[in-house]
Each structure stands twice: as C-alpha cells, then as structure tokens.
Structure 1
Amino acid sequence: MLLAILLPGLSMMLHGHILRGLLCFFLQFTLIGWLPAAIWGVASRNQDLAERRHRETLEVLRARGR
C-alpha cells in the first residue's frame, strides 16, 4: 500500500497495468499531479484486490457445486 502512495506508477506496473503505470508516472512528475496519481494508485490496488477476492469466491462456489 505504501508503494501505491509513494510510487503509484511502479505499483501499477508491478500489478500488470503497464500503460496505466506509464501514464501515472507522467502524471506524478508534476507537483500538482502527484496527489491524483497517488489516489489513482491506491484505488487501482484496491480494485485489483477486490477482483482477486471475487475470483477466489467464484472458484469456491464452483467447487461446491460439483
């Protein structure tokens, strides 16, 4: 989570969002753009975690249905 705040572009790239990460890096290089980039990085990280939980839940439900 700290990486998503301090280096949001790198955080996005590490989670497989290469183009979003590059755009976020460009946004982060401006002083005004750093705060929106940090918020975007944290939101992206939270969305990735929610999607992973959703996939895991679906796998469990499918396993129970068999």
Structure 2
Amino acid sequence: STLVLFVIGVAVLKSQYPLLWLLPVIGYGFAWVGHFFFEKNRPATFKHPFYSLWADWVMFKDMLIGKIKW
C-alpha cells in the first residue's frame, strides 16, 4: 500500500501517468505471491475484488495508527 501511494505520487508530480497502469500489479502482486507460494491458498481478490481492496486499505490504516503491529 505504501508503494502504491508512492507510485501515485511520482506519477502525478512528474506527470508520468502511464505509471498508473502498474498499480494493480503493485497492489495485488505481492499479496498474490504470498497467497499462492507461502500460504498455499487462493486470494479473496478473485471472488471479491472490491471488498479485498477495501480490506487492504483498512488494514493499512490500522497499521499506521498502531492497531495492528508491524
């Protein structure tokens, strides 16, 4: 999520809008690798993409405020 925000910032500040096409890969790529190769399960993104996206940002917020430990 931090990397997604960074890429958005760079794309907007430097007017490099094609970088925004990378956001789905950056946002979901790491999670999919973790699910497939480490947890050996299927990510919720395939059945519930918007719920999955929302949950990622809620968890990111909870990490930032200290509700979830890093």
TM-score surpassing 0.5?
no
Shorter chain as denominator, the TM-score bin is: 0.3 to 0.5
Larger Rg: 1
Larger relative contact order, structure 1 or 2 (CA cutoff 8 Å, min sep 6): 1
Structure with the largest fraction of helix: 1
Report the TM-score when normalising by structure 1: 0.39
